[in-house]
A and B are shown apart, each in its own frame.
Chain A
């Protein structure tokens, strides 16, 4: 085997897969978020080692320098993954807001109940709310 860009691509992809699997094993990365990484790691290894396939796909796409297909796959995947994270961040943001709101309302309720138990009047319109 020649020591060239294909070799380094394969080597890097392999190391990458090992790191991802190790993160999942040590629970630093959740299984559902590791699947995309494993998929791209696998695809990169196959394309790097199976040169005929890479050359064939590259020429089909009109790419003259075959290794640039590796770059393209990597970049496209990165975009997809970043978008995926934006969606996850948006969901976490919504959940975070609701948690803060619930904490605020619960704190208020705890305060009122504690005032009532201790015989202090908490605020002006002290209607009896169901506990």
Chain B
């Protein structure tokens, strides 16, 4: 890449947040992929892993925050936002540790946030055909979420469960005090919109996970549907937060 790093990041300080639970095998490759963009900091949130996730991240030479016990994806990601806020970062990017997010799309996702075009950018695998094959049952669930969130937000959103997203400094601050703990991705979209933040979706390519298992098993998916839909409904009944 011939561009200087400051041309890419617009002299903004960018932090990549990687929540990781038992991802020692896929993590080094994910970190190496992000490392191709110099000037972007990385923090791995080790969410009480039982394997050597922490050592794997430390060996790669990135910031590591070890949580004392497992908080779940929402609590782990929020730790990253807390770290970003305390260290004054301008842009934060969430990247999954399982390797399904392509680091090559990093600038595509941060671009609109750096330019001030959007407060949050979601990397979506549904906008164009990007080579991701989804299982049918999962597809149906995703379609329901997409329809509900698009309706509530009054804006078409296709991939509401994508964990590949970039946010602005204002959103970082907002997320420090307002982030759902359990299956947070879908709810965060409604939460942000209702508090006056703008959301943009950009197409990305996603791979199937290489190692480990998805955190969502068939049994959990029913709970997932009900919990998220209830959370969305409750968001509608709440007034917008004052600090936003």
Contacts and interface: CB of A to CB of B under 8 A. Distances in A.
B41 A107 contact: no
22 contacts: A97-B71, A97-B75, A97-B181, A100-B68, A101-B71, A102-B82, A103-B67, A103-B68, A104-B66, A104-B67, A104-B79, A105-B82, A107-B65, A108-B63, A108-B65, A124-B41, A124-B61, A125-B39, A125-B41, A127-B87, A129-B87, A129-B88
Interface in B61-77: 61-69, 71, 75
Interface in B34-60: 39, 41, 45
B65 A105 contact: yes
A79 interface: no
Interface string B94-111: 000000000000000000
Interface residues of B, number: 23
A95 B195 CA distance: 23
Contact of A100 (B39, B62, B64, B71): B71
Interface residues of A, number: 16
A123 interface: yes
B63 A105 contact: no
Contacts of B87: 127, 129
Contacts of A97: 71, 75, 78, 181
Nearest to B79: A101
Residue in A102, A103, A107, A108 whose Cβ sees the most chain B Cβ within 10 Å: A108
Interface string B185-212: 0000000000000000000000000000
A25 to B, nearest CB: 35
Closest A-B pairs by Cβ, 3 of them: A101-B79, A104-B65, A125-B41
A107 B66 contact: yes
A100 B47 CA distance: 10
A90 to B, nearest CB: 10
Interface string A93-118: 11001001111110110000000000
